[in-house]
Amino acid sequence: AQKVTQAQTEISVVEKEDVTLDCVYETRDTTYYLFWYKQPPSGELVFLIRRNSFDEQNEISGRYSWNFQKSTSSFNFTITASQVVDSAVYFCALSEDPIQGAQKLVFGQGTRLTINP
Amino acid sequence: ETGVTQSPTHLIKTRGQQVTLRCSSQSGHNTVSWYQQALGQGPQFIFQYYREEENGRGNFPPRFSGLQFPNYSSELNVNALELDDSALDLCASSLAGVETQYFGPGTRLLVL
């Protein structure tokens, strides 16, 4: 069965600090996809990144970076030099090979990130 | 490029009533998925529609049903509403065979 665990329920930091959001996943599939979404107070889930299970290369996009490690089943997300606009709930999600059925996303419980000025 | 839109944005119903929520997929996308997000929780998969047929379902009872139309828009219907159905209902669209789902703003449903 698929499962995503985000152990950090809430994180609060001061602006300009670096912050890492943890994500641990479980799956029996060898082909799967990992995602991060941002949910601001408005409610809409904003797509941030997708990685497939065969690509363990870390990725950097501006102040955002992602560390994918299959050995520990983790897909962590780091925000460098955080800003108040980064305040939101962040979700990690997992999708197994959609060719075998519905393209279902399994989400973690989310981490509420608050950046204080 | 038009994003995913949903209507209505907010809705208040009473227990036992029926509700229909609507979703227009992003331009070029032919697959629509519905999720329910209870307060303080992650979204839970309800079902997915592709080529106007349901092609996968989560752990939701039959009173949750849906439709997809030839223009790829979709409806979520919930019968016999219960208090626990109060949630943010999210629609996401994607291109079959491509794994990224893009979400709409959601419908906040309150059942009294």
Q: What is the pLDDT of residue A56?
A: 85
Residues of B whose CB is below 8 A from A45 = 43, 90, 92, 103
Query: Taking CB atoms and an 8 Å cutoff, what residues of chain A touch B57?
Result: 102
Tokens encoding B85: 């159905």
Write the DSSP symbol of residue B72. Answer: S
| pLDDT in the model for residue A58 | 87
pLDDT of residue B15: 98
Where does the pLDDT of residue A73 fall: very low under 50, low under 70, confident under 90, or very high at 90 and above? very high
B60 touches chain A (CB under 8 A): no
Q: Side chain identity at B15, as an amino acid letter?
A: R
Predicted confidence (pLDDT) at residue A100 exceeds the cutoff of 80: no
pLDDT recorded at residue B98: 66
Looking at beta carbons, which residues of chain B come within 8 Å of A93? 42
d(Cα A9, Cα A103) in Å, to the nearest integer? 26
> Does A9 have pLDDT greater than 70?
yes
> Which residues on neighbouring strands pair with residue B32, listed in sequence order?
B49, B93
Q: Chain A residue closest to B93 (CA)?
A: A103
Give the chain B residue nearest A41 (alpha carbons).
B105
